[in-house]
Amino acid sequence: MSNLVRSGANIMMPFILVYGFYIVVHGHLTPGGGFQGGAVIATAVVLLMVAYSRADVFASIPKNVLKNSETAGLLLFIGTALLALTAGIAFFGNWLLGAGSLFGTPVAFGINPGDINTGGIIPILNIAVGIEVLGAMGILLLVMLGGMKGDAE
């Protein structure tokens, strides 16, 4: 690939990652969420494969990081749901809502002013889904795009 494409990818990569994380974290307040944000973050893998060769991408990503992120996202999702049972409420019960801690701020009456700490367990579930989707889509994209022409460059 040309240096122009690689330089453009190096410039765009942080913006794609920040935007994807923004979509994940603000999913309970705005359109988006874990799946959409994870998909945006996974496009960073595609950008790397377009700018660099597949061998370079595999060399720069640690061996099992995508597989481990998929597992970590699933464990965080199920663990959050199981913690509700230990709190004495239903499976997937919103045990953080109104607790006053992180993500447990009570919602003021009326229109939500956009306070990110008002979601209860929903932001945690969005983060878990985002991590899961990043891992799964990253693996799928690396496998599907692995047969691209010009990998030997």
Closest CA to 36 of 27, 45, 44, 28: 27
Q: How far is CA 14 from the centre of its chain?
A: 14
Distance of alpha carbon 143 from alpha carbon 132, whole angstroms? 17
Residue 97 sits at φ, ψ, to 5 deg, of -60, 120
Nearest to 103 by CA among 21, 29, 18, 17: 29
Place 147 in a pLDDT band, splitting at 50, 70 and 90: low
pTM for this entry? 0.79
By CB atoms closer than 10 A (0-12, 13-18, 19+), residue 69 is buried
**Which has more confidence, 86 or 151?**
86
Residue 148: its pLDDT value, please? 52
Confidence (pLDDT) at 151: 45
* Tokens 């959409």 sit on residue: 36
Write down the pLDDT at residue 49. 81
Q: CA–CA separation, 9 vs 86, rounded Å?
A: 46
